[in-house]
Structure formats: structure tokens, C-alpha cells
């Protein structure tokens, strides 16, 4: 039967790794909504739009043709025919994505795409910030992954081979930007199950979520 899992949480909470592993475990697909915002941001930067001009951002966002990979083992993304797997993780995109994601027309467009992808797959794990609250409030399981700021920065800097202190500062900056929006996508849906992953390993978190899914 249909199975939709919403995994929300801040950067470095382990969302991506856990969501991919969970998707493989249930033989389902994986949707990284953060990668969608990042791919649109890449196109906006390519197009040279002024990040202070929401109309210019929205125009490029709506014209961008996205190819969205949902294979949990190889979730490749392309924008306007160019593979963007590497540049969407770079500092330029990371520095601009919160501004792009704050534009209401961008969110409206991407939420509609996300809902269409969810409708097209029987089993799907969807990762993001506003999945339980906005994109898929009827999901079968909604989890909110958290971890201490130090643990999140340590994970992210290990992934990207970057300095821990600089990473912690960048995560704090984005958390603040993301949560200061009119519609706060970091806000936890009231019925989401919070899982603090600070002292937990990946396997432990995945097993815990599988248990919740089967209960
Ligand atoms: O690096 P991190 O795990 O934080 O980010 P991500 O999941 O790749 O998302 C990058 C950015 O996209 C976030 O900082 C948010 O600004 C935005 N985002 C959003 O607004 N809504 C989502 N559902 C997913 C991401």
C-alpha cells in the first residue's frame, strides 16, 4: 500500500543519510527537497539574478527545467540539462539558497513539483524542512530529526572536509535565516515525532524509524 514518510530537521541532523537508508530498506524512492532548492539556486546564480530581487529569482526558478533523481543509491540532479550534483553542495549555492528558498513563488512552484512526485510513487521518503507541515501533512510517518549544534557541525564538516567552527557558524546563520521567514519551514509539525540523534549512529536511527513505521 501507499507509504509516505516525512523527514524534517535542520542541517546536519542526519536527514539525508537516514532518509536514503530508510528508502532502500523499504524498497522505496527518496526525494531530497533541499537539493531542489539548491538546484534552483544554482540556476538563479547562473542567470545572474540579483538575490535581493524576488521577481527576478522567481522568473528564473519557473523557467528552470529540473531533472530530479529519486534513486536512494544515486539521487542525481540536473538543471537545464546540466548535471549539478557537485555545484549544489558548493559554498556559492549554500550561501544563496536561504534567500532563494524564502521567495514565495519559488516555494509554491517546488511544493507543487514535490507533491506530484509523491503522488507518482507508492513508497517514498521525503526529506526537507516543511514536509510534515506543508508538503505532505497526510504522510504515514512524520519525524523531526534533531541533534546538538556541535554534533550537527561535526557531521557536516566531516562530510565536506571543512573547518568545524566555520561550519557551525554557517549552520547557525542558515538556521536563523530559515526560521525568520513569515512561514517558518523549520517549524516542527505538531504531530511529528522528534528524534534526537546526538548520540546515535546511523544504523540506530534507521532501525528506530523502521520500528516507528511498523508500529
Ligand atoms: O545543508 P542542509 O542539510 O541544511 O540543507 P538542505 O536540506 O540541502 O537545504 C538547503 C536549504 O534549502 C535550507 O537551508 C533551506 O533554506 C532550504 N529548504 C527549504 O526551504 N525547504 C525545504 N523543504 C528544504 C530546503
- Does residue 178 line the site of ligand 1, with CB under 6 A? yes
Q: Which atom of ligand 1 is nearest to the CA of 178?
A: 16
Distance 37 CA to ligand 1 centre (A): 7
Kindly list the structural domains of the chain, giving each domain's residue range(s) and its CATH number in brackets, ordered by start.
1-28+123-215 (3.40.50.300), 33-121 (3.40.50.300)
pLDDT tens sequence across 42-87: 999 999 999 999 999 999 999 999 999 999 999 999 999 999 999 9
- What pLDDT shows up at residue 189? 66
CA distance 56 to 207: 44
More confident residue, 155 or 119: 119
CA distance 180 to 101: 12
20 torsion bin: left (phi>0), alpha (psi -120 to 50), beta (else): alpha
Distances (CA, A) of 192 to 14, 66, 130: 16, 29, 11
Residue with cell 513563488: 105
Distance 132 CA to ligand 1 centre (A): 14
In percent, the amount of the chain with pLDDT more than 90 equals 77
| ipTM (interface predicted TM) | 0.93
**Which set of grid coordinates corresponds to residue 163?**
573547518
Written in H, E and C, the secondary structure of the chain is CCEEEEEECCCCCCHHHHHHHHHHHCCCEEEEHHHHHHHHHHHHHHCCCCCCCHHHHHHHHHHCCEEECCCCCCCCEEECCEECCCHHHCHHHHHHHHHHHCCHHHHHHHHHHHHHHHHHCCEEEEEECCHHHHHCCCCCEEEEEECCHHHHHHHHHHHHCCCHHHHHHHHHHHHHHHHCCCCCCCCCCCCCEEEECCCCCHHHHHHHHHHHHHC
Judged against a pLDDT cut of 70, whether residue 182 lies above it is answered with: no
Q: How many CB atoms lie within 10 A of CB 40?
A: 28
Distance 172 CA to ligand 1 centre (A): 13
CA distance 12 to 1: 31
CA distance 197 to 125: 18
**CB distance 112 to 120 below 8 Å:** no
CA distance 100 to 20: 25
Distance 100 CA to ligand 1 centre (A): 10
| Ligand 1: residue whose CA is nearest its atom 12 | 34
- Does residue 129 line the site of ligand 1, with CB under 6 A? yes
| Ligand 1: residue whose CA is nearest its atom 25 | 34
Distance 214 CA to ligand 1 centre (A): 28
- Does residue 109 line the site of ligand 1, with CB under 6 A? no
- Does residue 38 line the site of ligand 1, with CB under 6 A? yes
- What pLDDT shows up at residue 191? 84
Residue 181 — pLDDT band, cuts 50, 70, 90? Answer: low
- Residues in CB range of 26: below 8 A, 6 or more apart: 3, 123, 125, 210, 213
| Ligand 1: residue whose CA is nearest its atom 2 | 11
Residue 176 — pLDDT band, cuts 50, 70, 90? Answer: confident
Residue 12 — pLDDT band, cuts 50, 70, 90? Answer: confident
What number is the average pLDDT over the span 101-116? 97
- Does residue 8 line the site of ligand 1, with CB under 6 A? no
- What pLDDT shows up at residue 188? 65
What number is the average pLDDT over the span 170-196? 76
What number is the average pLDDT over the span 198-208? 93
Amino acid at each position: 500500500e501507499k507509504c509516505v514518510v516525512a523527514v524534517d530537521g535542520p542541517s546536519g541532523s542526519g536527514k539525508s543519510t537516514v532518509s536514503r537508508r530508510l528508502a532502500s530498506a523499504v524498497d522505496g524512492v527518496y526525494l531530497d527537497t533541499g537539493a531542489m532548492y539548491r538546484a534552483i539556486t544554482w540556476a538563479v546564480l547562473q542567470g545572474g539574478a540579483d538575490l535581493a530581487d524576488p521577481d527576478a529569482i522567481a522568473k528564473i526558478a519557473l523557467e528552470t527545467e529540473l531533472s530530479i533523481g529519486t534513486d536512494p543509491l544515486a539521487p542525481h540532479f540536473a538543471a537545464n540539462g546540466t548535471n549539478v550534483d557537485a555545484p549544489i553542495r558548493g559554498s556559492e549555492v549554500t550561501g544563496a539558497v536561504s534567500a532563494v528558498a524564502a521567495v514565495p513563488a519559488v516555494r509554491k512552484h517546488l511544493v507543487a513539483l514535490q507533491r506530484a512526485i509523491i503522488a507518482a510513487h507508492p513508497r517514498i521518503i521525503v526529506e526537507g524542512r516543511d514536509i510534515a507541515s506543508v508538503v505532505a501533512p497526510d504522510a504515514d510517518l512524520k519525524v523531526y530529526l534533531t541533534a546538538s549544534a556541535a554534533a550537527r557541525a561535526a557531521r557536516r564538516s566531516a562530510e565536506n572536509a571543512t573547518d568545524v567552527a566555520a561550519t557551525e557558524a554557517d549552520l547557525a546563520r542558515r538556521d536563523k535565516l530559515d526560521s525568520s521567514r513569515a512561514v517558518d519551514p523549520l517549524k516542527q509539525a505538531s504531530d511529528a515525532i522528534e528524534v534526537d540523534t546526538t548520540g546515535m549512529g546511523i544504523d540506530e536511527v534507521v532501525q528506530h524509524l523502521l520500528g516507528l513505521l511498523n508500529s
